Each structure stands twice: as structure tokens, then as C-alpha cells.
Amino acid sequence: MKKLLSALLAIVMLCSLAACSPQQNGSSSETSVISQTEAQSAEASSEAAQEEKPQWVDYVEYSLEEDVPVENIILMIGDGMGKNIIRASEIVKGDKLIMNGMAHSTTVTTYSQSVTDGDAEYTDSAASATAISTGVKTLNDYIGVDPDGNDIETICEYAQSLNMKTGLVARQVMCHATPAGMAVHNLSRNNYPKIMLDMVRSDVDVMLGGGSQYYSDYKTIQDAVDEADYKYITTAQELNSVSEEDGKLLGLFAYDNMASAGLTPTLETMTSKALEVLDNEDGFFLMVEGSNIDTCEHKGDMQTTLEQMQGFEQAVDCALAWAQDHPGTLVIVTADHETGGVTLPENPTPEDINDSCFTSGGNHTNSDVALMASGAQSAGLCENELIDNTDIAKYMRSVLAEARK
């Protein structure tokens, strides 16, 4: 079995290196430096990974203070989480999701500039993340740049300008579209090595997710991690032992995507640790992504999609519980777009929630998505019944600026 795993790992590495050839926006080729020891370490890490069975969180309504200045923002993005997958989750759960008990809600449009220009049928996660982060519509595939390719200030860069700490938590590889769109700039979301290098150099305080290949396979990134003085970890056990005294933290807990919702550390565990490390008197911005809701919807797999929803709901519960104990925190839960064209029959039962609910052939759609908000100044974001995803970025900036006058 170990020989088979080693062979498969080698094939994956070769394919990864081939896919990461030089592309646009100054991306340069990297020399793979993976050694036999590192390959064995990656194999051992894979074998040691543990699973926790996802489960629904009991419904509870949290009471967060609203009429206080915004010191911290927790932005939670369910990738591909349309309104109907939220409804489907509640039908299967037999109760409301915690996110639907948040104090305020509205609806968000998600189209990209590519859709507006007629070059695409729907937004991708790169353009949507950029809109949510910068307040500017851009083209599909673009990360942190406008349609002309000019860099735009990301939400992490804005928060850092206010001396706030910043953090990114995801299940996908850390240099994937959504976390990348919060921090860096690139003309192609597929320039993974260059994006990862820029993320390490971006001075984000906490980054937790998948994609250890972008450390183990690239000497330039390893050097940048050392130069930026990150504590680099790869296991749930190491994460558990981290404290705020360790400084900046980079945790990459799978060679690629953390595809299973129960793979440890769970999204809830990563969220909890990020909040612990980021908490400080100057405030913080934290983005948490339920990355693989989208991944499972692309596959038309309802069972695993619901498991991803369970994992995301656990993280939402964690964030709201923390925010209730820390006045001045604004919690926003939304989606970057809808995936799968989830359609439900009239008066659906749990038995009706199955693979046949997916109608888009695994594609994204331009359906509007939900936004829920609680905590400091949360009502203002939901004053209108319909907002655009760019309004999220603009509102986050406005309340942070107001609090620091």
C-alpha cells in the first residue's frame, strides 16, 4: 500500500509541476525541490489524517451587540452556497440552520464583469472574491485586479493599513480563488505557485487550509515562509498546540484540497484557532470559506454537499459564539455564487433532497444568494432588500473607517 501511495504521490507531483508552468502577470517557473524524505513525510501525513463525522449543530440564536463600533470582521463565505442548498439543508436537518437565525438578512447579486460583457454565462469564484474584497467588478479568472489588469486594494490590505491583523481559513488549497482574492493580485487564478508566494509575502497573520504542495515542492516559497517568519505546520496536533505567542501562522494540512468535511482539523477547529490567534486590541479581519460546498455541487453529489454544509454550519456556530463574547465584532455569512442550479420540488421531504435536485450540469449560475449578518453595525448592511457583492466590500471599509475616526 505504501509503495502504491508513493507512486501515486509522484504522479500527482509531476502533474502539478506541469500545470504550474509560467503564465501571465509575471509568474515564473519554480524548480521542484521535493526530496525522498519530503515525499515520505507527505505520505505519512496522509496516512495519519483523521476523520470526524460531520453532524448538524443544534439550532441556537445568538445575541450580539449591534450599536457599537466595528473592531473585528468575520466574513464567512459558503462557496457555491445558493439559497436552495440552505433550504435543502434545513429540510434534511429538520430544523433551521444557525445562519438563518442571524439578526439581519438580504439578497446579493453575484454577476461578474465577464457576464456583463457577454464573455461568460456566470461568475467564477475569482471575480466574485475580488468583488467582495475590493468593491470592484472584474473579469472571470482575475484575482485582485480590475478589468484592465490594474491592482486594486484588497480587504486584507485595507485592514492592514488600519493596523489590524488579518486571517484566511479555507478547505481548498490556500492559494485558491477565494482566499487569494482577499489578499493578492494576479491576472490568472491558476497561477498557483506565484499566488502562494505572493500570499506568503502579503503579511497576512494567519493562513489555514490545504495545499502543502505549494510549500514542499517550491524552494522559493519555503524561503519566503522563513523570511516572513511564519510558523509552518501541517497537522491537527500542531495546530492545537499553537498560541498567539507563536506569531504569524501558516498551516497547510493536506497536499491538495481538504476535500472531506470531516478531515481534521475541521473548518470549525481552524476557525476557532484563527480567532484565538488574531484577537488583539487593534482588531482583525478574518475570512472563512466553506470551499467544498461548491466542489461537491460541481459533482452533483447531494450527500457530500450536505456534509460540507454541516462543516460550514459548525464554523458559523463557532464564529457567532465567539462574537457574542466579544462585542464590536461584525459577522457576515454569504456566498460567492450559486453552484449546481439546485431546484427543489413543492413541499419537499428529506427523501426529495437527492442528486436529482442539481439542474445546471455542475455549473455555476447567476442566481442571487443570501447574506446574513449579526453583531456590530450589522443592520446597515441589510437595509436594502437587494445589494450587489461589491457593496459588501464597500460596507466593510466604511464601518472600519468610521470606528477608527
Kindly list the catalytic residues: 125
Alpha carbon distance 275, 3 (integer Å) = 40
* Letter string b/e over residues 30-45, b meaning 16 or more CB atoms within 10 A of that residue's CB: bebebeeeebeebbeb
C-beta neighbour count of 94 within 10 angstroms:
9
The 3-state DSSP class for residue 352 equals helix
Cell 504521490 identifies what position? 9
3-state helix, strand, coil in the chain (%, to 5): 40, 15, 40
- Cβ(199)–Cβ(241) under 8 Å? no
> Is cis: bond before 179, omega within 30 of 0?
no
* Short-list 148, 154, 161, 163, CA closest to 195: 154
Pairing of strands 386-388, 104-109: parallel
d(CA 27, CA 221): 13
Straight-line distance from the first to the last Cα atom of the chain, in angstroms, rounded to the nearest whole number: 61
Distance CA 221, CA 232 (A): 12
Compute the C-alpha angle 10/212/207, nearest 5°.
170
DSSP state of 51: B
- Cα 403 from Cα 69, distance rounded (Å): 5
